[in-house]
Structures are given as structure tokens and as C-alpha cells.
Amino acid sequence: MRSLVVAVVAALLVAAQSPSPTSSVSSISGAPPPNGTATAPTNGSGPPTFAVTLASTNPTAIPLASIVATLPVTATTIPLPTSETAGAVPTGVAGAPPLPNILGINPKDYPPLDHPPPTDSPEVQQWIAQLSNFEFPNISVTQTGGCPNNTDAAKDPTRCWWTCGQCFQSTDIVTCPDKLTWGSSFDDGPAPYTPNLLNYLNQQNLKTTFFVVGSRVISRPDYLRTQYMSGHQIAVHTWSHFPLTTLTNEQIIAEFGWSKKVIKDVLGVQPIYMRPPFGDIDDRVRAISAAMGLTPVIWTSGKASNNVSFDTGDFNIDAGTISSSGVLKNFTNILRNATVINSGFIVLEHDLFQQSVELATGYVLPAALAMNLSIQPIVQCQHMPLSNAYLETNDNSTNPLPTGVGGTPLATKPPSSTGGSSSSGSGGSGSNTKGSNGDVKTLSIGILSSMLAALIGSLAVCC
């Protein structure tokens, strides 16, 4: 059956490389025709447009020509089907605690929205103290601007900096084990059009992973509760969505800590998976992530996919740097490469903007469904139950977390009685965090050994 699917997908994608013989880019307008051809007119301005043939499209989809940076808000957001009440228990997460009461949650008790949290708050100081027995790699922070502004760092292979070269470690999740299995994910919400996406997913009986931004969780807690109670995986995408390698150790701890806290306050559980914003991760960020009980998840790219990035580019429509048909062209390239690699794959999409939601529900997901791809949340595409997505319900015998001193998971380790301290060093370099008792565990001995144990214990889900 799988070989038949591969053949069908390959045939469809060969057709996608040229315009439909009965349609031209310049003459098509209105809703997509029944044959699935999705095109946008070439008008000489804006980003390039392409003729793309998909296996299927949603007959109610907004025309591609209308999905542009200046998209007028013509479609209304769909209201949430219900308001989840305190005490409700999700049916898909075995052993989950009841939903907490969120009536007392006050945004003033959390950091400012969309900015890296201060590091001098009692909460952040407590999280820093919890990590006081670990020494993180002495890797300097990067400057904003990516690879061109960090030429030395970009050439340094010891960093394993994903941003410049798509380097990933064996402890990063970048694929799904089974061929033609799609680890589905959407980043940067909850956002105004997230309910529209949820409505479509519910209609199609699809589940996905939402990498949520803490600042947006506190702004729309009811959205997050609906996502969670509907059986979708919730994962961390930091508090402010800043590139993590540009932040100090203390700032990274604050980003992860506040994200986990607000999700726990709203849902009663805290995720054990995270995605770095922009994929910006190096071995320093990985070490802090592991120490805080978080496993990195990145979309398929680099050596995992013959150097093809499984990023649709949908985030950039709102900025006007890619057309909607350009996103679909990227998607057809993703599907073509999915038939070639020997594993499943993880695609980067977003629910932050109306444009990306319209593309997902009108074009991308209908095409994937027509191709009989297996679409799953990322934790489930790793052959694990949804309960393994959260600290409170995870099966530590099959999915062990990185451990702290004495084998206690750092995600639940109480603050050190000696307090501990950390310093950002000089010249903007990352800090080394060490307890006052001198009990230091380096990345190579402490974190990697525990992560190796995790890999051995769950070999079936190794990527």
C-alpha cells in the first residue's frame, strides 16, 4: 500500500512541475477549479506567482489571488465551540489532571507581552537556582541578523548552530520514523484565526501539534484550553518568540520557565517538547532545554531531507515576501521529497495569520488528505501516546527525561537550599551556571549521558 501511495504522490508531483495544459496562470480567477489546480495571476508586482497542481482543494477556499499580504479581513473568525470549564478532564490524555480554574489568572502577574522576560523576578531566580548544579557550554550569544552578522559563529562546527547549516543533534526530533507520516504542527498561536483552523481539523478528524507562544497563551487562554481538550498536542514555543541564541542563559531560562508556567496555569500540565523560534538553536540552548526537561523539535531539513527544508514559508505571506502560490510550490516540493527520504517528515506551518490559516484549510491539508498521508501530532508520530507530551502524564520508563543531581527530573527539582547563582559573563558570552557546593555536571557528562539513556530506552522513536 505504501509503495502505491509513493507512486501516486510522485506522479502528482511530476505534474505539479508544469502548468496545467488547460489553464494559464494569467487567466484563472475565482475559486479553485474541481481538478485541484491552484493558481494566482501574475500582475507584475509583488513576489513571484506560480501554477501549482494539487491533488485536491477545499471548494470553500478563498482564491489564491486574494491570499496576499494586504488580505482584507473578509472572513470572520469562528467562535470557539465551547468554553472549557474548570474540572473537565481531557479524554485523550491518560492520567491528566482536571482543568484548573483560570478565573483568577491576571496578566499583570506575568511578564510584558512579546518581550524577553526580566531575569530578576522571584520566579526566574528560582528556576535559575534549580539549574545551579549544571555547567552549560561556554558558547557566546549570537548577534541579531543571523549568519551574515555572525560569520565566525556560522563557521564554527562545534556549536551545531541550526540557523547556519541546519545542524541538529540526535536528541533533536526532526522527522517521524515511518515513511509518508506527517508530523503536523502549527506555530505562534493562539491567534485570532486559530478557531478557524480548529474547526477544519475537527471536521476532518485531524490532530496536530501547536507550538504556542506564552505571551499569546495569557492573551487567549480559552483558545489553548479548546486546543488541548480537542486532543491536540500542546508544546512550548517560548514566551516572546525571540531567537534563543541571541539571549543569555538567564534569559533563555526565563523564556522557557514562563512558557511552561503559563501553560501549566491554564491547562494543569506542562509540555516536555519545545520548538525554538526560527529554528534558532545551538548546543548551549540544547543544554538549557534539556536541563529544563524540554526536548527540541525542528522541522525536517538538512541531512535529514537531502538538504531540502520542509518549511512552507507561509509565515512570510503577511510580510509580502512570498506569494500564496509560492507557498504551495514549496509544499509540492516538500511532498516530492517526502517520497524520497526514508522516514516520515515534520512540516513548518503557522496559525498566527489569516493567510496561513486560509492556505492550510483551503489547500495544504486537503491536498495531503487526498494523498492518503498519515497526519499525526508529533509525539504520536514518534510512536508514543499523547500523554507522553506532558510532564505530569509522561511514562518515564519509556520516555525518560534528562535528569538532575540524584536522578531527579530537573523539571520538578526543588530550588537548591544553597541558592546558587549564575552570571552572563563578559562580552555578551553565555553564562556558566554552577552551584555553590561545587557539584558540577558538564554537558558531555550530565546532560548527554541522560539523553543517551533516553534514546536507548526509546530506540523506536529515534530520529
Strand-strand pairing, 209-212 and 233-236: parallel
| Amino acid identity for residue 47 in this structure | P
What grid cell was written down for 168?
541538529
Beta bridge partners of 271: 390
pLDDT for position 38: 52
On the 0-12 / 13-18 / 19+ scale of CB atoms within 10 A, 152 is exposed
Please give the residue range of the domain that contains residue 455. 107-146+167-461
- 449 lies in a domain? yes
What grid cell was written down for 16?
505539479
- 65 lies in a domain? no
Element housing 184 (H / E): strand 181-187
Q: Which residues are catalytic?
A: 187, 350
The 3-state DSSP class for residue 236 equals strand
Answer for the pair 388, 394: CB distance below 8 angstroms, yes or no: yes
- 40 lies in a domain? no
Return the half-sphere exposure (C-beta side, CA atoms, 13 A cut-off) of residue 224: 32
CB atoms near residue 438 (< 10 Å): 7
Nearest to 177 by CA among 399, 460, 385: 460
Answer for the pair 68, 355: CB distance below 8 angstroms, yes or no: yes
State the CATH number of the domain containing residue 256.
3.20.20.370
- 259 lies in a domain? yes
pLDDT for position 46: 84
CA-to-CA distance for 315 and 63, rounded, in angstroms?
A: 18
CA-to-CA distance for 405 and 42, rounded, in angstroms?
A: 61
On the 0-12 / 13-18 / 19+ scale of CB atoms within 10 A, 202 is middle
pLDDT for position 100: 97
- 255 lies in a domain? yes
Which residues contact residue 326 at a Cβ distance below 8 angstroms, ignoring those fewer than 6 apart?
47, 48, 49, 50, 313
Number of domains in the chain: 1
Which residues contact residue 272 at a Cβ distance below 8 angstroms, ignoring those fewer than 6 apart?
293, 294, 295, 388, 389, 390, 391, 394, 401, 411
CB atoms near residue 188 (< 10 Å): 22
Which is it for the CA torsion 13, 19, 22, 23, positive or negative? positive
- 231 lies in a domain? yes
pLDDT for position 436: 32
Q: Give the max Cα distance, the chain.
A: 75
- 380 lies in a domain? yes
Please list the pLDDT of the chain residue by residue as tens digits (463 residues): 544 444 444 443 433 333 332 222 222 222 333 334 454 445 557 899 999 999 999 999 999 989 999 876 556 788 887 789 999 999 999 999 999 999 999 999 999 999 999 999 999 999 999 999 888 999 999 999 999 999 999 999 999 999 999 999 999 999 999 999 999 999 999 999 999 999 999 999 999 999 999 999 999 999 999 999 999 999 999 999 999 999 999 999 999 999 999 999 999 999 999 999 999 999 999 999 999 999 999 999 988 888 889 999 999 999 999 999 999 999 999 999 999 999 999 999 999 999 999 999 999 999 999 998 999 999 999 999 999 999 999 999 999 886 432 334 444 433 333 333 333 433 333 333 333 333 333 333 333 433 433 333 333 333 3
Answer for the pair 210, 178: CB distance below 8 angstroms, yes or no: no
Beta bridge partners of 186: 210, 349
Strands (E), 40-177: 51-53
pLDDT for position 7: 45
- 89 lies in a domain? no
- DSSP assignment letter at 362: I
